[in-house]
Amino acid sequence: MITYTPFKAEHLLNLELQDAQAHLRDRLDISGLRTLENEWANTLCVDGRVAVCAGFIEIWPGRAMVWSFLGKDLNSKNFLEFHNIAKRFVDLVPYKRLEAYVRCDFKAGHRWIKALGFKQESACMEAFEPDGSDHALYSKIKG
């Protein structure tokens, strides 16, 4: 069963990151992550264990960036329920333009962001992350 609660930076300490994001573990600074705590950020738990921390950061009124840390407790049995929750939040946030960045070599991430209704704007933004990885830019413009 999936439940959710407002995101707190400390939740990330209890999240076993998926392989595609594991390289970020050493770069997670709890005090810096507190900037992600807002009314549009949530922690999802699967059977009481932190499975996802995700939300939106306002860039300016009308524009926000999507962020997410997904854990290994997310699997084929519960991903559809998680996807439906994420889709609901995407529809509810009060921003016209949403942006998401997906690692170029992360095929599942590209499939998922497209399933949420995002369209690719840039196929490759070079050296986007601290590890030098390239990312694609996706956006969703809400009517």
Domain locations in the chain?
A: 2-141
Residue 110 pLDDT greater than 90, yes or no: yes
Condensed to tens digits (0 to 9), the pLDDT of residues 30-58 reads: 888 899 999 999 999 998 899 999 999 99
Contacts 24+ apart (CB under 8 A), 15-21: 15/50, 15/51, 15/52, 15/53, 15/69, 15/71, 16/71, 16/72, 16/73, 17/69, 17/70, 17/71, 17/72, 18/70, 18/71, 18/72, 18/74, 20/103, 20/106, 20/108, 20/109, 21/69, 21/70
The class level of CATH for 2-141 reads: alpha beta
Mean pLDDT of the chain: 92
User: pLDDT at position 64, please?
Assistant: 98
With cut-offs at 50, 70 and 90, classify the pLDDT of residue 25. confident
What percent of the chain is modeled with pLDDT above 70?
100
